Chains A and B, each alone.
Chain A
Amino acid sequence: MFKYFPHTLEDEKEMLKKVNLKELDDLFSDVDPSVKIKDPNELNLPLSHSEIELRRKAKKIANKNKELICFAGGGSYDCYTPSVINTLTSRQEFLTSYTPYQAEISQGTLAYIFEYQSLICELTGMDVSNASNYDGATAAMETMLMCINQTRKNNIIIANDFSPSVKDVVKTLANMHGINLIEADINNIDEYLNNDLAGLLLANPNYYGEIKDYTSLISKVHTSSKALVSMYVDPSTLSLLKTPREMGADIACGEAQTLGIPMSFGGPYLGFISTLSKYVRKLPGRIVGMTKDKEGKRAFVLTLQAREQHIRREKANSNICSNQSLMALHATIYASLLGKQGLKEVAKTAYNNMRYLTEKLEETKKFKLLNKNPFFKEALFETSFDVSKFLSYMESKDILAGIKVDDNKILVCATEMRTLEEMNEYVKLVEAYDVR
């Protein structure tokens, strides 16, 4: 017997008898022998591990990873995860249930998705949100398709100051789908603002942490073309920053990992998309709506499903089915715990920390700030030394000093998690760093 298989020999015999077969292998008599695994011993798998052995082995492997004091961002940020969150998200009712198709016994999931949609709309200023996307990059990619589907045009501009990996994800799909994707400096897009333009994808903050007011640019795009503007934002900054809605964007999307989700080597994270009411039917993926049951009680249910793959097949807005539901719960609980005031405090701490660190780094004369605009959480610096060597040196001091952008450029980030002591230590190490 094995712990995940409850069949006793007697059960097995009785069940085989019921199905008129002699042995388990007879269940696969319709499978051609040439495609079968003749002997499981040939498989390149270890022998079964007991729980004790598995735990021991996993710990040994986990210890080969190094937890560092994190001054790197670039799409993944060290942020505060209140203890309450894991206690609640690991409840089996949330963790082990499926997509809430059976509304009567899925009201918990449906209610938190409704709360999540409300949260995303509150932060971005938009009217409607879907139930989540895989990550920020795939969310950006889906908003490109929304622009195409809404306008029936085929030209998309993507700002060149997006994160390189987000750009690559968008480019990959554009190539496959046959979309004419133009990567451009946002100060230089006039020649593309015409009737063939379907959409403009902006990043705010951009890859270098810079924040800008895009109000007049967006207004120019809207008057000179019928294009939609999708703005990629960091929701953890939006309690303080001018929202995509206030700037006139049509779609707000991005990565919500910053709402308390651990870095976890790049995932699971939380992509999001929100938009204006008039574009709700172009949204990809699940949407939850409020309705009533037969007795008039308030109830939640998956809705507007005529956009989706299981109804529309090749004509669907998107192929997305499973998304990142549990991470949406994670972010919703985070925002409920922090509330209006806490979100502002966290955002302001991150903003202040990065301003402080920048001042101190510039004082060393070894770091030169390259950002020309205000910035949030992270900034790009030119260094007087080789960045790769500096990163290894700092790693030997248990610090992840940033992300190498090229040989003499480094992207440095300070979130709300960095203490004064840690920042001062970083600066001290830079001061002491032997450039040779």
Chain B
Amino acid sequence: MYDKLVYELSKNTKVAYSLPKSLIKDYALPKELTRELPLDLPEISELDCVRHYTNLSLKNFGVDQGFYPLGSCTMKYNPKINEEIASLASFKNIHPLQSEESVQGLMQIYYETSQMLASLTGMSEFTFNPFAGAHGELTGLMIMKQYHLSRGDLKRTKVIVPDSAHGTNPASSALCGFEVVTVESNPDGTVDVNKLKSLLDDTIAGIMMTNPNTLGIFEKDVLEISKLLHDNGSLLYYDGANLNAILGVAKPALMGFDIMHINLHKTFSTPHGGGGPGSGAVGVVEELVDLLPNPRIAYEDGKYKFKSTSPLRVSNFYGNSNVVIKAWCYILTLGKENISNVAKYAVLNANYVKESLKDDYKLPITNICKHEVVFDGLISEKASTLDVAKRLLDYGYHPPTIYFPLLFHQALMIEPTENESKETLDEFINCLHKIAKEAIEDPNILLDAPHSTILKRIDDVRAARFPILTYKDYLANKDQF
């Protein structure tokens, strides 16, 4: 197995670059501003570099390689044409502070994407300034807070978050200076309306909801909930992490949501990049558009223009432009005639998996699910969900999300996107049946899994107890490795 760090390839005086010869004189740098610390960076050849990172890449697993049913992450196919277009020189070599006249193309892409997302969701306008889903949440909550403040309503200091929500929801609320009030779920993970009612008063700024929720269940009482909140003077925030389940089928604004974010890197096919760059586009209803963070992009008199209407700013410039371009490509490729099939096939796939596995895996919620299905571990209980996940690695799958949502102790959350064929799902289903059988016949195969990966189970307790966080730390503790 390839097991090097780039620092370990270094040999004095090797180079992997060529720069033009300078034609101007050398100016001295003031001595008191000069670095004295030694600088230990790798010195390698260009081929050393290419081989090193190619070899590192081979230790990863991507969507192009195989089925990646990671629940709540929407690991759909990332179309190649989108990458090609986003990397056009006249999108890439553009300074963010060029004149409006010289960036009309990019502004057009931003504007059109906002319009198309608005049409799909019922919102009025979107901003692409937030860089990721959690950043979109924070931005949306800032809009919520500013809305109340601008009306002189200073008492609204709390945000309601369901106990089944992603961790980012309460974390974003706290960051935005709100107190978090948790509302308990019904056994099926949906919001308990009676409990919600008991929390409502004039201190509630709003509620954050994910719909379908993190268990993949559509909130059947959403219209009642939005009426309750609006009658209370509160706003509703839609966490778009699960938008893929209803894309082109239903609109969050029609459900009563006032603010939402969309993870373009989930629903709109842009790649996750091993943890970013993404885009947490935020959309709002008409009444809130002037609170969208600066700068906004408008279309007036046949020209795209920047405008600032809000006291809020969340990014140095306009977010991750190449992610917006890829999302624009994706929407145009699908077109209005295909877009609702995203949700339909995603939901069909999830329900197919659900019905196919319920004889071996505990299915706590039997209703129709949306884009993802949550099991609560093996019926036989001969091995844990972690063991099942690790055993899936041996069969060449990326495991589903495990131990989330927290409502079930052995949660195994499977999200097969619309891109996966019946053949792929059948193979995966057979594999999970086989693992269930192995758990009964020879549980040690699961308990010791994975067997075929380059590394065996990793000691993460040690990592936290003796943090080795840089190459320097490693050199100082080399005897322990």
Contacts and interface: CB of A to CB of B under 8 A. Distances in A.
Interface in A314-345: 314-316, 318-327, 329, 332-333, 335-345
B134 A54 contact: no
6 contacts: A20-B355, A61-B105, A240-B29, A263-B96, A313-B167, A316-B171
A147 B218 CA distance: 41
B382 interface: no
Given A95-B271, A105-B60, A314-B174, A172 B70 contact: no
Interface in B339-373: 339-341, 343-345, 347-349, 351-352, 354-356, 367-368
Given A35-B254, A48-B338, A65-B102, 5 more contacts: A15-B348, A111-B5, A172-B311, A322-B277, A333-B49
Given A264-B322, A289-B469, A298-B481, A98 B70 contact: yes
A163 B319 CA distance: 17
A44 B95 contact: no
A349 B52 CA distance: 28
Contacts of B455: 103-104, 107, 293, 297, 299
Given A5-B418, A169-B313, A268-B320, A99 B356 contact: no
Interface stretch (A70-78, A187-195, A220-228, A378-386): A70-78
B90 A239 contact: no
B3 A297 contact: yes
A241 B39 CA distance: 11
A134 interface: yes
Contacts of A48: 332-338
Interface stretch (B195-203, B229-237, B434-442, B470-478): B470-478
Contact of A322 (B70, B278, B389, B398): B278
Contacts of B10: 339
Nearest to B13: A341
B407 interface: no
Interface in A256-284: 262-269, 280
A293 B254 CA distance: 51
A377 interface: no
Task: Categorize the interface residue count of chain A.
Answer: 35 or more
Interface string A100-127: 1111111111011011011101110101
Given A96-B63, A115-B471, A327-B276, A311 B16 contact: no
Nearest to A337: B16
Contact of B352 (A15, A127, A318, A322): A15
Contacts of B228: none
Contact of B85 (A54, A172, A299, A309): A54
Contacts of B381: none
A217 interface: no
B191 interface: no
A14 interface: yes
A230 B172 CA distance: 23
Interface in A33-80: 34-37, 40-41, 43-49, 51, 54-55, 57-59, 61-68, 70, 72, 74-76, 78, 80
Contacts of B133: 321-322
A292 B474 CA distance: 12
B170 interface: yes
A364 interface: no
In the complex, the 9 A-B pairs of residues with the closest C-beta atoms, listed nearest first: A266-B317, A48-B335, A266-B96, A326-B273, A64-B105, A325-B275, A134-B131, A309-B171, A268-B277
A88 B52 CA distance: 10
A90 interface: yes
A343 B83 contact: no
A162 to B, nearest CB: 11
A213 B33 contact: yes
A57 B325 CA distance: 12
Contacts of A138: 131, 135, 314-315
B103 interface: yes
Nearest to A83: B46
A269 B329 CA distance: 21
A176 B142 contact: yes
B35 A239 contact: yes
A16 B351 CA distance: 9
Interface string B431-472: 000000000000000000010011111111011100111111
A26 B248 CA distance: 15
B108 interface: yes
A34 B227 CA distance: 14
Interface in B265-279: 265, 271-278
A372 interface: no
Interface string B259-293: 00000010000011111111000000000000001
B46 A127 contact: no
A309 B134 contact: yes
A351 interface: yes
Interface in A116-170: 117-119, 121-123, 125, 127-129, 131-132, 134-138, 145, 163, 165-166, 168-169
B20 A63 contact: no
B233 to A, nearest CB: 20
